[in-house]
A and B are shown apart, each in its own frame.
Chain A
Amino acid sequence: DVKVTQSSRYLVKRTGEKVFLECVQDMDHENMFWYRQDPGLGLRLIYFSYDVKMKEKGDIPEGYSVSREKKERFSLILESASTNQTSMYLCASSLFAGGEQFFGPGTRLTVL
């Protein structure tokens, strides 16, 4: 079975802090994704990566950056956290660009 893990289930940070969310997948998938999930808005794509050191902006990249130094790891970075970034963050991976995505358990981030 594909396993996607995220470094934290819950995080509480202060406004202005730099925040790192880590995601690791163990199935040698080429593609990795970061979403945020908010009530009434569903899942929205922040960034994705289709190869090591490659990244593409999703629908809501503002205030975020990503890093993919190794195939199995995709990090989401909030350079200066703000209260409107309080959300559930979900990482996913897929073998093919247009294929099924496997999700991690999510990180619930609260920015105070």
Chain B
Amino acid sequence: KAGVTQTPRYLIKTRGQQVTLSCSPISGHRSVSWYQQTPGQGLQFLFEYFSETQRNKGNFPGRFSGRQFSNSRSEMNVSTLELGDSALYLCASSPQPGSLQETQYFGPGTRLLVL
């Protein structure tokens, strides 16, 4: 069974631009969560999607948004990029909301650098 895939793996943008990251969950998994990893903050929860609906949201500004498609693939968008948005963005999939975290699998992440 293929794992969680994220594209692109690396991205360089400049301040003010916007970016879209993509996540394809494990086949059969319908819940997708996004996390931001930075050296000082660890992993911080961005949002979770299930059945094309956002179920949970972390404490991030409105510049961060996401969506999920009918095939469970998810995208996250960051508009008006700031230097502080430079981070590793991780996507995790699980069979359904409320699944034991042991059944949540992370992708390799997208490394975003904002110049």
A and B from one complex: no
What residues make up the interface of B, taking CB atoms closer than 8 Å to A?
none
Residues of A within 8 A of B (CB): none
